[in-house]
A and B are shown apart, each in its own frame.
Chain A
Amino acid sequence: DAGVIQSPRHEVTEMGQEVTLRCKPISGHNSLFWYRQTMMRGLELLIYFNNNVPIDDSGMPEDRFSAKMPNASFSTLKIQPSEPRDSAVYFCASSLLAGDNEQFFGPGTRLTVL
């Protein structure tokens, strides 16, 4: 298996622009998580899905952030409009619900908003 796939790996954009981050979970996994990591705040859970349904979005910082999971093999995290304080590494992770719930992380997307 290729593991969790994220794209793009790096994104540089200007303040006010829309940013879309993409994630393909491991095949067969039915839970998907979006995290944000910064030096100041560490690792933060933004939102997670079970069987494509959003379960907990309490970590989404503002209405500028939205996430979708249209099917079991694809999810997006969108920021519109982006701001410099959104600069961070965004990780996607997936797991198999029921069992030990080990999460497998993708390589991350490093976002820089100028």
Chain B
Amino acid sequence: AQSVSQHNHHVILSEAASLELGCNYSYGGTVNLFWYVQYPGQHLQLLLKYFSGDPLVKGIKGFEAEFIKSKFSFNLRKPSVQWSDTAEYFCAVNRGGRDDKIIFGKGTRLHILP
């Protein structure tokens, strides 16, 4: 079955530290990849997405992610985090084409110390 694995369940960093959250998926065909963010008490919002083209995707708020097809990975990065980045981050995959269901990972809770 198709699955998405997020390796870190809870990450704690200090402000200005660099961030990398791991994400691997299990589907071997064409995929659309997403990172969603959920700030405390809010709904999920799109951070960035990969559909096609350049595998290095830049999103909002200085986030970026790199699609490495050979590794089935789509890791999220940010060079310098801020306290306002405290949130839960979800990696998600869609098989593309006519399959519109998105499979979400279990999420990574990021806590930034001021």
Which residues of A line the B interface, CB within 8 A?
31, 33, 42-43, 45, 48, 50, 55-56, 91, 93, 95, 97-98, 100-108
Instruction: List, in ascending order, chain B residues with CB within 8 A of A97's CB.
Output: 98, 100
Decide: A91 near B101, CB < 8 A? Known: A100-B32, A101-B32.
no
Residue among B42, B99, B102, B104 having the largest count of chain A Cβ atoms under 10 Å: B102
* Complexed CA–CA distance, A6 and B70 (Å): 40
Interface range on chain B: under 10, 10 to 19, 20 to 34, or 35 or more?
A: 20 to 34
B43 proximity list for chain A (CB < 8 A): 91, 105-108
B102 touches A101 (CB 8 A): yes
Q: A residues within 8 A CB of B51?
A: 100
Flag if B100 contacts A43 (CB, 8 Å). no
- Whole-angstrom distance between the Cβ of A65 and the nearest chain B Cβ: 18
User: Chain A interface mostly helix, strand, loop or mixed?
Assistant: strand
Residue B17 CB within 8 A of the other chain: no
Q: Looking at the complex, which one of B46, B99, B101 makes contact with A45 (CB distance below 8 Å)?
A: B101
Min C-beta distance of A41 to chain B, whole Å: 9
CB-CB nearest in chain A for B96: A101
CB distance from A39 to the nearest CB of B (A): 11
Distance in angstroms from A37 CB to nearest chain B CB is: 9
B95 nearest CB neighbor, chain A only: A101
CB neighbours of A91 from chain B (8 A): 43-44
In contact, A101 and B44 (Cβ under 8 angstroms): no
Given contacts A101-B32, A102-B34, contact A43 B102 (CB under 8 A): no
A–B Cβ pairs within 8 angstroms, 29 of them = A42-B104, A42-B106, A43-B90, A43-B104, A43-B106, A43-B107, A50-B100, A55-B101, A56-B101, A91-B44, A93-B44, A95-B100, A97-B98, A97-B100, A98-B98, A100-B32, A100-B51, A101-B32, A101-B94, A101-B100, A102-B32, A102-B46, A102-B49, A103-B102, A104-B46, A105-B45, A106-B43, A107-B42, A108-B43
